Amino acid sequence: MRPMIPTLHLDPPGNGDWLFEVKYDGFRGILNIQSKDSISLKSRNGNELLPFFPEIKEQILTMINDHKVQLPIKLDGEIVLLRSPNSCEFFELQRRGRMKNQKRIEEASKIRPVKFLVFDLLHSEKKIWADEPYMKRKEELQKFFTAFDLPLEPTPNHPSCLQMIPNHKDWNKVWGYVVNEEGEGVVAKARKSKWEGKRSTSWIKIKNWKRCLCFITAFDSNNDYFHIGVYQDQQVVSIGLFHFGISPKEKKILKEIILKNTINQEGSLHIVNPGICVEVFYLNFHDGQIREPHFHQFMLSSLPEECTLEQFLLDEASLPVNVELTSLDKELWKKPFIQKLDYIRFLRKMSVVILPFLKNRPLTCIRYPHGIFGDSFFQKNRPEYAPSFIQTVPLDQINYILCNDLSSLIWLGNQLALEFHIPYQKWNQVDVNEIVFDLDPPNRDSFPLAIKAARVMKEVFDSLDLHSFIKTSGNKGLQIYLPLPSGYSWEDTSLFTEFIADYLVSNFPEHFTIERLKKNRHGRLYVDYIQHAEGKTIIAPYSLRGNDHALVATPLWWSEVTEDLNPENFTMDVVLKRFQKFGCPFSQYDRVKEIQPFKEVIQFLKKHPEAH
């Protein structure tokens, strides 16, 4: 069965009765379930995909065995690795799809399960839905997902592999989601359209193109591909090649110019000096090459000197247009060498996991206006020159900034706010949002003490059925988080933090202490349970630290907390690659809040005060 394919347009349809869905960058597949012994997930080319993604089949078998699915059923959707609700990691999915070793496939399916995002219902029980209008199919699909308690929208932290793609009436709203999260694009679907097993204008895809200004460097006469590049310090840097988007007439003229001006020939490759500037659309940039490049137009008024790597990287970041950026070449660190543009790009690429932890929390920043080479200062109050989109909340006669959106985050980055410190409560929240233990060894050489404390605490939390998360502090320590359900006071949480600190000190007095004076710690790790209090703050997940190594306060998986763990490994580049490859270790944070069995623990401590 061939899938229905949307037609590519540059702009959304202006007239007609359309609804809009997020387009995800994954592997298209039609899932056909006849029985537990007959399950297939076929690609556009008719290849079977299930062997590469056993987690999907495992969930389907569980649903069948639980008698939750009336068969047969046929669903149309996309296999993805979700990065955020409206974007995904295509290159990591490609890596999964290339695996041949069954053991590696099974391991990968457990480390970071894929999602099968369903957008259409083609067959259920005895009913063929393909000839029904799109809206009717969508309504029946939603009934199906609701009946089996499956997510009605893509949710990275939900354990279900089967999730639904909803539709939206408001184009601007859904396009805003995609742009903010660097998603692939949007599909417009005619409300009354039938499901056709071919390319159709009843479905229109509008891609979230990135644009780059570059110059032609060569032409390959064997395959008709044009090579493109930009300048970095007067050296030509290749960024890829294009074939599509250029008209036959334009291609003919361009080929003639290149062949006349060839300065060197390597086989079929005709090399020219930079001189012909073009604008190219593309989806994303990976391993030094742009993906899905499409020629857009010649830039006859541009000079090759304007085609720089800095401008390319700035444009690639797709930054908010309402934020003015300055001094992007300012050096922030020497080793590793980091400029302001590198930091801004890190914030942009990590924004989908940075912003949820900052949302609605009065923010304390540490700004480094000269990088780490000059003085730094704390900033709590919103400065007078802040743009109008910067939100504030009044607290203790201070107008604290709320960093709730991408524009605010990038503006703070441009102000060189390198450290983001947040309280344990959200604005207007009466109860406590989480408990955090700060495990602070006397120096980096004593980091094994933090590892030991964390592992001991993890055993205690596991014995109490408490869900815990861990991150590096970005300096020399570790920090353990326990998200809390609503309803707990500072008095409640202090009972627990004191109980855990006492447990560590009484059982391992040679390693741990609650002594606040450094001179009296004698090389022991300080368990700072007093720091968890109203008005106190903690470094936010994924915030940089203003230390010599430009380290990041990095969420970890508990399996990483071993003797081999080295906090100095977590630099910006490493953290970004970790996130792209594995996702966020804190992804389940909000999900476990309401199921955290904290009530029983607090009741026990109140009844047995001798325990703390």
Residues acting as catalytic residues: 23
| 612, amino acid identity | H
| 180, amino acid identity | N
Contact 544, 420 (CB under 8 A): no
**Tokens read off for 100:** 């041949």
Element (H, E) at 74: strand 73-80
Contact 122, 33 (CB under 8 A): no
Nearest Cα to Cα of residue 51 among 42, 399, 202: 42
Nearest Cα to Cα of residue 476 among 560, 570, 412, 395: 570
Q: Cα-Cα-Cα-Cα dihedral of 357, 363, 368, 371, to 10°?
A: 10
3-state secondary structure of 99: coil
Kindly tell me the sign of the dihedral angle through the C-alpha atoms of 73, 77, 81, 87. negative
Write the CB contacts of 107 (distance below 8 Å, at least 6 apart in sequence).
Answer: none
Cα–Cα dist 230/302, whole Å: 13
Residues in the chain: 612
Residue whose structure tokens are 């809390």? 484
Cα–Cα dist 485/449, whole Å: 30
Nearest Cα to Cα of residue 5 among 50, 40, 47, 44: 44
Write the CB contacts of 248 (distance below 8 Å, at least 6 apart in sequence).
Answer: none
Cα 367–425–345 angle (5° rounding)? Answer: 40
Taking CB atoms within 8 Å and a gap of at least 24, the contacts of 287-292 are: 288/238, 288/239, 289/238, 289/239, 289/240, 290/210, 290/212, 290/239, 290/240, 291/90, 291/240, 292/207
Contact 98, 73 (CB under 8 A): no
CB hemisphere CA count around 329 (13 angstroms): 6
Rg (C-alpha) for the chain, rounded Å, is: 27
Kindly tell me the sign of the dihedral angle through the C-alpha atoms of 455, 460, 462, 465. negative
Contact 138, 191 (CB under 8 A): no
**Tokens read off for 84:** 């955020």
Residue 544 gets which letter from DSSP? B
In this structure, the strands spanning 555-556 and 469-472 are: antiparallel
Residue whose structure tokens are 């780490």? 372
Q: How many helices (H) and strands (E) does the chain have?
A: 14, 36
